[in-house]
């Protein structure tokens, strides 16, 4: 008797576990393919789409909540040095280091991604919020411009690559693959090293979103048009 009912419980648990991933998959399947100029709900999100047999394009959800043009993927001329990512278990994290433009033309970076570690990343700056006199971070509306021949330093308290919501912890010594996307679709892949760091705890200034991070993000961003 007892054994039978236990089996029954085990069955329904197993069934629930089996069903759950399918429900999630169906939901994810409803996402539409990005379209240049169309509204997107999570700025900083990027999508790589295979258009034709040999053509792959990047889309970036820009800070104005519109999808970028289809940007044909090519190899970036940028180089990086000493890239590292702040060790963290959950929530947000950020990546820093030196990015150099060795060419004689300016290069603008408009997006970043690290799908292994975060569903989307943003390019952030740290500014003074005059209302509170606090340093806060926010998305850089024009991305990162790296002038011909120049090196920029992404650093705590300054510009950085923000990981919005970790999918898995960044541990000390972890190798974190990151891709930067240029305004012409050029991609730069590099690896940042996980590092324990006490700073870089600026508040995220999301405009009118002052309450909880995740709920504020989704409600605030989906309501914009």
- Which residues contact Cu ion (rule: CB under 5 A)? 124, 137, 162
Least separation in angstroms between residue 199's CB and Cu ion is 12
Least separation in angstroms between residue 164's CB and Cu ion is 8
Least separation in angstroms between residue 5's CB and Cu ion is 52
Least separation in angstroms between residue 162's CB and Cu ion is 4
Cβ-based nearer residue to Cu ion, 48 or 136: 136
Cα separation, 195 vs 177, in Å, equals 14
Least separation in angstroms between residue 137's CB and Cu ion is 4
Find out whether 52 and 61 touch, Cβ atoms under 8 Å.
no
C-beta neighbour count of 19 within 10 angstroms? 10
Cβ-based nearer residue to Cu ion, 66 or 124: 124
Cα separation, 127 vs 145, in Å, equals 17
Cβ-based nearer residue to Cu ion, 100 or 206: 206
Cβ-based nearer residue to Cu ion, 47 or 203: 203
Least separation in angstroms between residue 19's CB and Cu ion is 37
DSSP state for residue 224 in the 8-state scheme: -
Cβ-based nearer residue to Cu ion, 201 or 211: 201
CB-based burial, 36-68: b 16+ in 10 Å, e otherwise = eeeebebbbbbbbeeeeeeebbbbbbbbebbbb
Q: Which tokens in the block code for residue 3?
A: 């054994």
Residue with tokens 């000390």: 172
Cβ-based nearer residue to Cu ion, 45 or 124: 124
Q: Are strands 203-204 and 134-139 parallel, antiparallel or unpaired?
A: parallel
C-beta neighbour count of 74 within 10 angstroms? 13
Least separation in angstroms between residue 121's CB and Cu ion is 10
Residue with tokens 């648990």: 13
Cβ-based nearer residue to Cu ion, 48 or 213: 213
Cα separation, 180 vs 77, in Å, equals 11
Find out whether 21 and 97 touch, Cβ atoms under 8 Å.
no
């Amino acid at each position: 008797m007892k054994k039978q009912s236990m089996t029954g419980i085990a069955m329904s648990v197993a069934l629930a576990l089996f069903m759950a991933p399918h429900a999630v998959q169906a939901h994810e399947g409803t996402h539409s393919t990005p379209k240049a100029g169309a509204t997107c709900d999570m700025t900083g999100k990027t999508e790589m789409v295979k258009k034709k047999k040999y053509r792959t394009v990047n889309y970036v959800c820009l800070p104005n909540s519109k999808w970028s043009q289809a940007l044909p993927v090519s190899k970036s001329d940028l180089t990086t040095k000493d890239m590292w990512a702040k060790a963290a278990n959950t929530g947000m994290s950020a990546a820093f280091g030196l990015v150099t433009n060795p060419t004689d033309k300016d290069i603008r970076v408009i997006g970043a991604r690290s799908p292994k570690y975060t569903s989307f990343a943003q390019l952030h700056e740290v500014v003074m919020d005059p209302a509170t006199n606090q340093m806060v971070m926010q998305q850089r509306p024009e991305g990162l411009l790296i002038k011909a021949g120049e090196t920029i330093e992404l650093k705590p308290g300054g510009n950085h690559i923000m990981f919005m919501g970790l999918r898995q912890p960044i541990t000390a010594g972890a190798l974190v693959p990151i891709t930067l996307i240029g305004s012409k679709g050029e991609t730069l892949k590099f690896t940042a090293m996980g590092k324990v760091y006490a700073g870089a705890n600026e508040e995220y200034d999301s405009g009118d979103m002052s309450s909880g991070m995740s709920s504020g993000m989704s409600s605030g961003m989906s309501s914009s048009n």
